[in-house]
Each structure stands twice: as C-alpha cells, then as structure tokens.
Amino acid sequence: MMIANNPDIFKFIKSFLVILLAILLCDWLLGNALGYLYSKQQSGVLYRTSYAIDSTKADYLVVGASRANHHYDPRVFESSIHSSFYNCGRDKQSIFYSCAVISSILNRYTPKYVIIEIKPDEFSQFEEGELATLLPYYNNNAVKPYLKYNGKFQQVKMLSHIYPYNSLITNLLVGLDRNWIEDYKGYVPKTSVISNTKLEPLKEKGATDSLKVKELYNLLGRLNNKNIPTLLVISPMHYKYVNSVTTSICQQADEKFSNTAFLNFANNKSWIDNKLYSDDYHLNVNGARLFSKQIAEYINQQNKHFEIANQTTSSPPLR
C-alpha cells in the first residue's frame, strides 16, 4: 500500500525497469552483432580457432599453445608424410584448450594422428580467465565442459550476450579481411633471430594442477580407445630446463597408454644454436622447418612400425 501511495517509489521502480530493459536489449543487440561478426571471420586468429573446432578434416593435427602454433610447419609434414596437416595451436593457451579442441574434432571425425605440444610448465596451477578464447563456443557440447575451469559463475556470466566477445573487437574487424593472411594452415612463422647465446634457467611455476593432468589423461584414454596414435612433445627451447614435473607426467602417460608416445627436446644439445630461435621460448621459421622435418621423420618411422605390426597380426600363423 505504501508503494502504491508513494509516487516517488513507483516512479523509481518504473525508471529502474525501463533502464534494465534497455540494458538487456543493448546487450542482446550488441552481443548478436558481435556473434555475427565472429561467424563471418575470413582470416586471423579467430578464424583459425573456428576452423580447427568446426571445419578441419586434416589427417594429421597438432594442438597446443604458441609453441605449437609457431613450431610445426604443415608444408614440411605434408611433403614428408604425404597427407593433410593442420596446425590448431593458439598463443597463450593451456592443456584445457588443447583438450577442448581435440574433443570437438573427435565429435566430427577421426584423425589419423594427433600431436599435443606440451609447455614446460603445462601442469602448473591454472589461472582464472585462461579459457576466455573458447567462450564463443559455449554452446558446443564438446567445448562447454571445459569452460567451468575458466572461473567462477560462468553460467551466470554467459547470460550476457556480450561477455563471450570481450576484448575481441580488434580481431573481429581485422579478421573480416580475407586477404589479411598471416598463416599457412594454421601455422604462423616467426622470422626474427635472437642474439642471446646464454642459456637461462627455466623453472616451472606454482603447484601442479591435478585437474589438468586428469583432463589430459581422459583425452589420451579417448584417443587410445579410438586407436589414434598420439605424440606428446616438449619442443626445443633456448633455456636450461631445470624442473621435471611436466616431463614425469608425460612419461607416465607414455607408459599408461599404448598409442601414446613422448618426445622431450628440453636440454637437447642439438638445439642450442640461437640462430634457430626467434626468442628464448620460440623457434624461428628456420628452426621450425628443421624441427618439423625431424618430427615428420619420426612419424614416418612410427607409421612403418604400425604397418609391419598390422601385417604380422593379420598374417596366417606359421605352421
């Protein structure tokens, strides 16, 4: 009765509802406009992510963060293994990102081979917001389960249509230009050369995140059940790697899953030449070419081994 008899309170409530409705309408309109721009990407990092999740049908894939994106040249792999290759790497990502991308791919088709690039501190404690790049794929059933790791109250935040596209406006506009090409099948080369010849120490940061280990092992189990050969790789770096937590986890995965192998190039004396690096953490285009050739040769040897094993298994028993 007091509200009904008080015109000021009634006016306030009415104004509040009008403002709230206007905010919701603006959020809906702007969010859908940003979503439309996202769906029209022709090049750039957002296009590459969408292509990896929704479109690629390549036989051979690599996933991971920046070291995946800059170290694996599809040209080298395709000329060596004579099959299609796509680089699904993206800068500043975690193992959760790799798991989400591969899971979405497995829901669409079965690749012949998967490479997972592992960061030197891959299993360190997860930082909130690291999976923001996957928010536009919230409705993808393969991606959605991993977004709970992005932070608290994700379901509430996703009520906003703008939220998934926060800080993406520059990339959204640049990606509309199909002529703005910086990659070849997802691979982005680095052309600079570092002058530093001293190997600095690199230590893993923070405590081990058991959830990261769990999700990687779940993915490896799924790949193993599908009989997809999977290669975990710590690619070369211009650092002296002094902590073995990540390598131990990968070695255990190698032993646990029959279709999983592990290659560790950390502290490899064949890869200390600074001319092969763009910075201490990334190979340049020349280093990437040599490294891709080495991994492709390893895969060819694996494939020959599998062929021989299959022939032996399918052959009639000797009498």
Please count the residues of the chain. 319
Are 132 and 138 contacting, i.e. CB atoms less than 8 angstroms apart? no
| 276 domain residue, yes or no | yes
In a domain, 200, yes or no: yes
| 138-165: pLDDT as tens digits | 999 999 999 999 888 888 999 999 999 9
Token pair recorded at residue 175:
């990606």
Residue 288 forms part of a structural domain: yes
pLDDT digits (tens, 9 = 90+) for 201-235: 988 877 899 999 999 999 999 999 999 999 999 99
Distance, in Å, from the CA atom of 204 to the CA atom of 218, rounded to the nearest integer, reads 23
Average pLDDT over residues 57-68: 98
Mean pLDDT of the region 281-309: 91
CATH number at residue 286: 3.40.50.1110
Q: Is residue 117 part of a domain?
A: yes
Task: Find the helix or strand (DSSP H, E) in which 176 lies.
Answer: none
Q: Are 147 and 49 in contact (CB under 8 A)?
A: no
Asked if the structure places residue 29 within a domain, the reply is: no
Domain assignment of residue 139, given as a range: 42-156+185-312
pTM value is 0.92
- The reply to whether 108 falls in a domain is yes
Tens digits of residue pLDDT in 230-269: 999 999 999 999 878 999 999 999 999 999 999 999 999 9
How far CA 296 is from CA of 115, 215, 287, 301, in Å, comes to 11, 27, 14, 9
The verdict on residue 151 lying in a domain is: yes
- Is 105 part of a structural domain of the chain? yes
Q: Is 205 exposed, middle or buried (0-12, 13-18, 19+ CB in 10 A)?
A: exposed
Count of domains in the chain?
1
pLDDT tens-place string over residues 82-105: 999 999 999 999 999 999 999 999
Average pLDDT along the chain: 91
Predicted confidence (pLDDT) at residue 39 exceeds the cutoff of 60? yes
Q: How far apart are CA 225 and CA 258, in angstroms?
A: 10
